[in-house]
A and B are shown apart, each in its own frame.
Chain A
Amino acid sequence: MADFIQQIVVGLGSGAIYASLALALVLIYRFTGIVNFAQGELAMFSAYIAWTFLDAGVPFWIALPITLAISFVGGMLIERIVIRPVEGAPELTIVIVTVGLFIFVNAAAGWIWSFLIKDFPNPFPDGALRAGGVSVGYSTLGVLAVVGVVMGLLYLLFRHTKIGLGMRAVATNPESARLVGIRVGWVLALGWGLAATVGAVSGIMVAPLLFLEPNMMGGVLIYAFAAATLGGMDSPVGAVVGGLIVGVAETLAGAYVDVIGSDLKVGVPLAIILVVLLLRPQGLFGKAAVERA
């Protein structure tokens, strides 16, 4: 039993990471209807920026806000420069553009920082909390706490600020929002900036666990997609819940289903994506899209 609970704790730990990246995906999808295939790579790039500061001797808690600020501005710029020209273009075009961005950012990081893996310091203390045969690493707790805080901040932003209200208006109906005087273009950029910031948090949390290298987020991205699909592409709460479920499901499947084992775990997100899309395409918390032809 203790072993089972231990596996769930481990699953929640990795689930929290998937949740953070899924949150970034959902933010962009909500505002622009785009699934950003480059989200993981942007997170990886942010982690490299943080690493550069840390490597230069900047303390972690100073490097973090600087990195987040750079990521925010970077995300906005990407929306303005890369995504703006294809706004309103067919899905196919947009998917291809974000895939182009994916390849570009991945290779650019390799070009700038080389493809060798780098050690990224863990911001959380080592060691673990023990209770009844189950040990919970401080870093797991830390990651869960960070995701909780990010979630709370986003909630405050969307529910209790004027900017948040405007952003929700744009997400609901861009045309009406424009008519009441909201600068839709800037709100979309803001959405990308926020997503890049949330992604940066995720990248910085992943880096100490997986080692920093340009392909670091490739594996995480597919879990984040599964999390976002499961929770509902347009629901931030869904992304977090979905992330935790995917994390736990993956860990349990790896530990207890012999056929899957640790090497085929990556089949779990594939199965989740397929099942959700075929049975309940809007996900657990998402709103079903109603199309008028």
Chain B
Amino acid sequence: MSEAIETREKSTAPASGPRPARSWLRFLEPRGHWVWIALAIALILPFQLVPFRVFQLTMVLVYAVALLGLNLLVGHGGQISLGHGAFFAVGAYTAAIMMDRWDTPYPWTLPVAAAVTFVLGLALGVPAARLHGLYLALVTLAIAIFLVPLLKRFEDVTGGSMGLTLSKPQPPSWTGLAEDQWLYFLALAVAVAAFALVAGLLRSRVGRALHALRDNEIAAEVMGVRLAFYKTLAFAWSALLAGAAGCVYTWVIGFVSPDSFTVNLSITLLAGIVVGGLGSQAGPVLGGLFVMFVPSFAQDINQGAPGVIFGLLIIVVMYVAPTGLAGLAGRAVRSFDRTLRKE
């Protein structure tokens, strides 16, 4: 479809050409062992940090899952959504309402939230597949704006502007974990499952079809890729991931209110994935870290500072590094690797 996306594609694919087999930095490469190392670090961290930091990391994981969904849609599918916060909110509220009204045990809320948002994504994906680029952005933006008054309106179910307060999942006693650690591991489990799901999806027929559509719609259609079908499917999967993230959000925060899911959330998510790296595997995690930590640091400078930084970075990233932080990191690793080899 475009130059920007082609470069993105190049840098996410494993670097071509012959490569020394025993470069000691290989674990840093996209398909190397870095996944296991990251996972090992992720397993150790909650035992080393104070509860507040553990909570922050849990939120990073929640965002990462939502960004994974957005990445599937924007980075791999070439569609845009300015309303992913809405799916996130639907997932969060599905879980909250189930736990509040029917006292559903929390593990059951996840598949239901995922199913609800998947169906919703499918329903919205049908018109979305017919809408091109900016029109899709418009419609999704309008949906995100509409959701907040909608949530406030159905007060008896959603708790209106006061929201719903829920008890957080408690760790089973055999684990010996504290509450924050248990929530962290729940989020980690969902995140790992989500990453595995997306990796599988992208390696499958669906992933190839999406890449083909993103890079050249007409050529893809000529080759027999069903445009509407795959675009709708991408929308639905992406909504499912955002919904799952929303569900975990409800577990972790134990409180939902319409004002947590304003259009700002949708825009923040888009900012996160753009800066993290569209179309890359590490992008959602880096984006999650960015979305979680940059505002909390920048807030100290000025209330407007996070927005100024977000806005500037989005524009700059689109100019100089369309692959985002993940692309830059990949580039740095490769050039470091090359320098080492020369010596």
Contacts and interface: CB of A to CB of B under 8 A. Distances in A.
Interface of A: 34-35, 37, 82, 85-86, 89-97, 99-112, 114-115, 214, 218-219, 222, 225-226, 229, 261, 263-264, 266-267, 269-270, 273-274, 277-278, 281, 293
Given A92-B5, A107-B305, A107-B308, 15 more contacts: A37-B141, A91-B132, A91-B134, A93-B2, A99-B82, A99-B137, A99-B271, A100-B271, A100-B318, A108-B307, A108-B311, A111-B305, A115-B303, A214-B304, A264-B150
9 closest A-B pairs by CB? A107-B307, A104-B311, A100-B314, A111-B304, A91-B133, A103-B311, A110-B304, A90-B2, A270-B142
11 contacts: A89-B3, A90-B1, A93-B4, A93-B322, A99-B270, A104-B314, A107-B307, A107-B310, A107-B311, A108-B307, A225-B141
B318 A96 contact: yes
Nearest to A114: B303
Which residue, of A100, A112, A218, A225, has the highest number of chain B Cβ atoms within 10 A? A100
Nearest to B312: A104
A278 B80 contact: no
Given A91-B132, A97-B318, A263 B311 contact: no
Interface residues of B, number: 50
A111 B302 contact: yes
Contacts of B139: 270, 273-274, 277
A222 B145 contact: yes
A100 B311 contact: yes
A38 to B, nearest CB: 9
A283 B110 CA distance: 41
Contacts of B142: 222, 225-226, 269-270, 273-274
Which residue, of A34, A96, A112, A270, has the highest number of chain B Cβ atoms within 10 A? A96
A58 B290 CA distance: 43
Given A90-B4, A102-B267, A111 B308 contact: yes
B310 A82 contact: no
B219 to A, nearest CB: 10
Contact of B149 (A94, A97, A263): A263
B274 interface: yes
Given A103-B314, A267-B146, A92 B153 contact: no
Interface in B1-56: 1-5
B143 interface: yes
Classify the interface of chain A: helix, strand, loop or mixed: helix
Contact of B137 (A37, A103, A261): A37
B253 to A, nearest CB: 23
B152 A263 contact: yes
B274 A96 contact: yes
A267 to B, nearest CB: 5
A273 B138 contact: yes
Contacts of B130: 277-278
B314 A92 contact: no
B135 interface: yes
Contacts of A35: 134, 137-138
B199 interface: no
Nearest to A218: B263
Which residue, of B138, B145, B303, has the highest number of chain A Cβ atoms within 10 A? B138
A278 B136 CA distance: 11
Contact of A110 (B132, B141, B153, B307): B307
Contact of B127 (A94, A95, A106, A278): A278
A219 B141 CA distance: 11
B61 interface: no
Contacts of A102: 267, 311
B74 interface: yes
Contacts of B146: 264, 266-267, 270
Given A263-B152, A277-B135, A93 B318 contact: yes
Which residue, of B80, B153, B267, B315, has the highest number of chain A Cβ atoms within 10 A? B315
Nearest to B134: A35
B243 interface: no
A85 to B, nearest CB: 5
A32 to B, nearest CB: 12
Contacts of B145: 218-219, 222, 266, 270
Nearest to B4: A93
B257 to A, nearest CB: 16
B322 to A, nearest CB: 7
A97 B141 contact: no
A160 to B, nearest CB: 32
Nearest to B214: A92
B123 interface: no
A103 B152 contact: no
A288 to B, nearest CB: 13
Contacts of B1: 90
Interface in B64-79: 74, 78
Given A35-B138, A37-B137, A277-B139, A266 B149 contact: yes
B104 to A, nearest CB: 28
B218 interface: yes
B131 interface: yes
B102 interface: no
Which residue, of B5, B130, B139, has the highest number of chain A Cβ atoms within 10 A? B139
A105 B311 contact: yes
B308 to A, nearest CB: 5
Contacts of A108: 304, 307-308, 311
B174 interface: no
B318 A95 contact: no
Contacts of A273: 138-139, 142
Which residue, of B142, B218, B271, has the highest number of chain A Cβ atoms within 10 A? B142
